[in-house]
Chain A
Amino acid sequence: MRNRLFLSACAFLLLVGLWAGCSRSEPAASSSPTVALVMKTLNNPFFVDMERGAKDAAQRLGVTLLVQAAEREVDVERQMQIIENLIERKVNALCIAPSGSKEIVPAIVKANRAGIPVLIVDTRVDSKALANASGRTAAFIGSDNVEGGRIAGRYLVERLQHKGKVAILEGIPGHETGDARLRGFREVVDREPGIQVVVSQTANWERDQGYNVFQNLLQSHPDLSGVFACNDLMALGAVEAIAAAQKTGRVLVVGFDATGDARDAIRKGTMAGSVAQHPEEMGRLAVENALALIRQQTILNEIPVTVELITNNKR
C-alpha cells in the first residue's frame, strides 16, 4: 500500500517531467547544429531580452537553441552544473554569460577539453585566471561597460552643472561588469573638482537592496544631489527611497541597462537617465557567431555592442 502510494506519486512526477520535456521542441532531425546559451538568471529582464534576441536569430538560421540559467544570479556553482550537463548533451557551441568572472574558468576548461567552442557574452572572464588554467574562449560579445560608465558620468556632471555631492550604488564586488562601469564613471567624476563622491556602497544588483541602502544613505547624507547606480534595478530601488523621503526631483538618478521600468521612470522624470545596452543584440550576435564557429569560419575575438544614453529629451 505504502509503496504503491509512493510509486504512483513518482509516476505522476515522471508524467510532469515528460510533459515538460516534450512540450519543449526537441531537436527534430538533430542534423541542425545545437547552440547552448547559459545565462546568469532568467528573473532579470536584461537576460529575458537577450534570450529573445538569441531565439529569433536561432529560428532564422535554423539553429537548435538551448537556453538555461541558474535560479539565482550569484549561484556560480549551479551555473557550472548547467554547463557540465550541456557538455554531456554534446552541444556544438556554448555561449555563456558568466555569473562569476573567475569562478566560470573551471567550466570553460571542461568545455575546452570536450572540444566545444565557448563564446562569452555580457560579462568578461578574468583573463589572468583563464590563462593560468590554460583555458580558451573564442570571443567576447558585450557592451563597452567602461565607456558606458563614462557616458553616465559625463551626463550626471553636466546635469549637476559641475557641482554637488554624489553617491554610487555598486554591483556585487568582483563582478567585472559592475567594476568596469564604476571605473568609467569615476574616471570622469574624479576629474571634476566641484563633484564630490561622498559614498559608494554595494546593493548587490538588487532592487530591494537598492531601496534599503539608498534610504540609509539619504539618512547619513541628506544633501546628496545625484546617484549613479551600476544597474537599473538598484537605480529604481533608489528612486523609491527618494520618493519615500519626499525628495523626488532633488536627487538625480542615473542607472544602467535602460530596462522597461527604467524607461518609464525616465519618461515620468523620476529617473534622469540610463545607459542603454542592447541585450537582444548580444543574444543575436552570440548565436550568429556560434554558428559561424561551428561552420569553421573565423570570427572576431572582440565583438563590441554599442551603448547609448537614454534621457527624457531623447524619447
Chain B
Amino acid sequence: MKSRQVVLSYGRELGTLSGLLLLCAALAFLTPHFLTISNLLNVAQQTSINAIIAAGMTFVIISAGIDLSVGSVLALSGVVLGGLLAGGFPLPVSLLGGLVIGLLCGLLNGVLIAFGRLPPFIATLGMMSVTRGIALLYTQGRPISGFSDSFRFLATGEFLGVPMLVLLMLVVYGTAGFVLSQTTLGRYTYAIGGNEKAALLSGVNVRRYKLAVYGIAGFLSGLAAVLLTARLNSAQPIAGIMYELDAIAATVIGGTSLMGGAGKMRGTLVGALIMGVLRNGLNLLDVSSYIQQTIIGAVIIIAVFLDLTLKKRSS
C-alpha cells in the first residue's frame, strides 16, 4: 500500500515534468528562438519571482489553507524596502526591513487563522486589502525608484554565469524542499493538511505550525519583493496585483492538492516553469494577448481536472 502510494506520487510528478518537456519540445520545433541558452536563462529569470512566491504558497496549500495576500504583501514589503533605501539606510538594514515586513504580515495571517479561527480565505482576503492600502498610504500612491547598483545586483547580476534570480530561486527551492520533506515542520504541514483533527489528537501543536506556515509564505513574498524591486529599479505600491493567482496556479499545476495533505516542492517548481515557458513561448510566437490569457486559463483548468481525476482513481 505504502509503496504504491510512493509510485503514484512519483508518477504524478513525472507527468507534470513530461508536460513541461513536451511543451519545450513543441516550442523548439515551432520557433528557432526558443531553444537558445540566452532564452532559457531568460525564461528561468522570468519564472523566478512567481516561483519563489509559489514555494510559500505550496506550504500553505499543503496545510489545507490558502494565502490571497501574497501579492499585496509583496507590494508593502517592496515599498518599505524602497523607502528605507531611498532614506539612506544601509543595504543590509533595508533588505532586512523588507523581509521582516513580509514575515510579520505572514505571521499576522497565521495569528488570524490559527488563533482567531478565521477561515484562511477570509483572513488573507482581508489582509490583501489591508496591506495594499498601507502600501498606497505609505507611498501616497507613487512609486519609489532609483536604487544603487549593489542592490540591483540581486536581480541583474550573475554568479559563475548563472543569473542571481535563478540562483536564488534554486536556493529557495532547495531549502523549502528540504524543510518540507525532511523536518518536523514539513511532516506536520502534511499532517495538518491531511487531517487537522487527527494531527491535533496525536499531539501536534497545530496552531504553532500553522503560524509557521503562513510566516514562511509572508517571508517568501518579502523576498520576492526584494527581487522585483531590484529587477524593475522601482518599488510600486500597485505591484503584485493578482500574483496570488499565478502562485496558486503554479502550485496546483505542480500537483499540490487544494484539499491539502499532498504536494511536492519540485512539482511547484515545474508548475511555475510551465507557466513561464508558456508565456515566453506565446510571446515568441506572437500569439495575441487575448488568446494567451485563454490558453493559460485552460492549462490551469486541465491541471486541476487531472489532479481531481487522479485522486478519485487512487482512492
- A contact set with B: CB distance below 8 Å: 1-3, 5-7, 9-14, 16-18, 20-21, 24, 26, 42, 66-72, 74-77, 80-82, 84-86, 88-90, 100, 102-103, 105-106, 126, 128-129, 132-133, 172-174, 202, 204
Contact = CB atoms under 8 A, between A and B. Distances in A.
Interface of A is mostly: helix
A21 B143 contact: no
B19 A6 contact: yes
Contacts of A6: 15-16, 18-19, 306
Nearest to A204: B238
Given A2-B15, A10-B23, A13-B298, A76 B236 contact: yes
A87 to B, nearest CB: 8
B141 A174 contact: yes
B18 A20 contact: no
Contact of A100 (B45, B234, B279, B280): B234
A18 B30 contact: yes
Contact of B238 (A11, A17, A74, A90): A74
B134 to A, nearest CB: 16
13 contacts: A5-B309, A7-B15, A13-B23, A16-B295, A17-B282, A17-B295, A18-B26, A66-B286, A70-B289, A72-B242, A74-B238, A128-B146, A174-B143
Interface residues of B, number: 63
Contacts of B313: 1-2
Interface of B: 8, 11-12, 14-16, 18-19, 22-23, 26-27, 30-31, 33, 36, 38-39, 42, 45-46, 49, 140-143, 145-146, 156, 228, 231-234, 236, 238-239, 241-242, 278-293, 295, 298-299, 302, 306, 309-310, 313
Given A16-B295, A16-B298, A88-B42, A3 B11 contact: yes
A105 B156 CA distance: 13
Contacts of A74: 236, 238, 241
Given A77-B228, A88-B38, 8 more contacts: A2-B12, A2-B15, A18-B30, A67-B288, A90-B33, A103-B236, A128-B146, A202-B141
Contacts of A84: 42, 45-46
B15 A173 contact: no
Given A2-B15, A24-B286, A76-B236, A103 B145 contact: yes
